[in-house]
A and B are shown apart, each in its own frame.
Chain A
Amino acid sequence: DAMVIQNPRYQVTQFGKPVTLSCSQTLNHNVMYWYQQKSSQAPKLLFHYYDKDFNNEADTPDNFQSRRPNTSFCFLDIRSPGLGDAAMYLCATSTGVEQFFGPGTRLTVL
């Protein structure tokens, strides 16, 4: 089945230790998104790619970076995680209207 896959599902890192979350898709969608979702809150868009074009939200901290080496894969790099970065990170894909979400990666920062 076509899908959005996120690895790992659970990630534990230490304060200040760089961490990378990955997302892959078999849907061949041209748009990919990264969201941060904290408990009982709406997802907050961090950035998205329209093909190779990177679009950063104005309030996304510099601590968050992203890479999209090809259509299928997208990575979220957190350079120096703080306690406030503990959250669920959702990847989503789209052809422009409906978004398809992955299961998320729950990040814990110790």
Chain B
Amino acid sequence: AQTVTQSQPEMSVQEAETVTLSCTYDTSESNYYLFWYKQPPSRQMILVIRQEAYKQQNATENRFSVNFQKAAKSFSLKISDSQLGDTAMYFCAFMKRGYSTLTFGKGTMLLVSP
């Protein structure tokens, strides 16, 4: 079974600053996907970024980038130039390749303040 651990229940950052959210996971699989999902208050969950385990290059989507360390089983999310609209719960999630179900971490609530 897979486990996903997010050790930061809450984080705060000021607008325009950079913040890093941590995620570690445990698996015996070699082929898998990792995701960061964002759930703003009272709004639906959306995908922020995904990483295929076989790719060494870290995924990047505009202001969002990951630091994927496969050997260390670490998958952190860096948000640059934080905006008020980044305020949300962020969930790290794991999926075995060839399967269709996610294992979520407990989430990190990120508050961006002016």
Q: CB within 8 Å of B: which residues of A?
A: 31, 33, 40-43, 45, 48, 50, 90, 92, 94, 96-104
A42 vs B107: C-alpha distance when bound (angstroms):
6
A26 vs B101: C-alpha distance when bound (angstroms):
21
Q: How many chain B residues touch the partner (CB < 8 A)?
A: 19
**For B89, what are the chain A residues with a Cβ–Cβ distance below 8 Å?**
40
**CB-contact partner of A90 in B45, B47, B105, under 8 A:** B45
A40 and B107: CB pair below 8 A?
yes
A102 and B44: CB pair below 8 A?
yes
A67 vs B105: C-alpha distance when bound (angstroms):
28
B106 and A45: CB pair below 8 A?
no
Query: Taking A40-B109, A42-B105 as contacts, is the C-beta distance between A94 and B100 under 8 angstroms?
Result: yes
* B46 proximal to A (CB < 8 A): yes
What is the number of contacts between chain A and chain B, taking CB atoms within 8 Å?
42
A42 and B91: CB pair below 8 A?
yes
A92 vs B106: C-alpha distance when bound (angstroms):
18
* B33 proximal to A (CB < 8 A): yes
A90 vs B42: C-alpha distance when bound (angstroms):
12
A103 vs B102: C-alpha distance when bound (angstroms):
18
**For A100, what are the chain B residues with a Cβ–Cβ distance below 8 Å?**
47
A103 and B109: CB pair below 8 A?
no
* B55 proximal to A (CB < 8 A): no
In the assembled complex, how far is the CB of residue B64 from the closest CB belonging to chain A, in whole angstroms? 15
**18 pairs, CB–CB < 8 Å, chain A vs chain B:** A31-B100, A40-B89, A41-B106, A41-B107, A42-B105, A42-B106, A45-B101, A50-B100, A90-B44, A97-B33, A98-B50, A99-B47, A100-B47, A101-B45, A101-B46, A103-B43, A103-B44, A104-B44
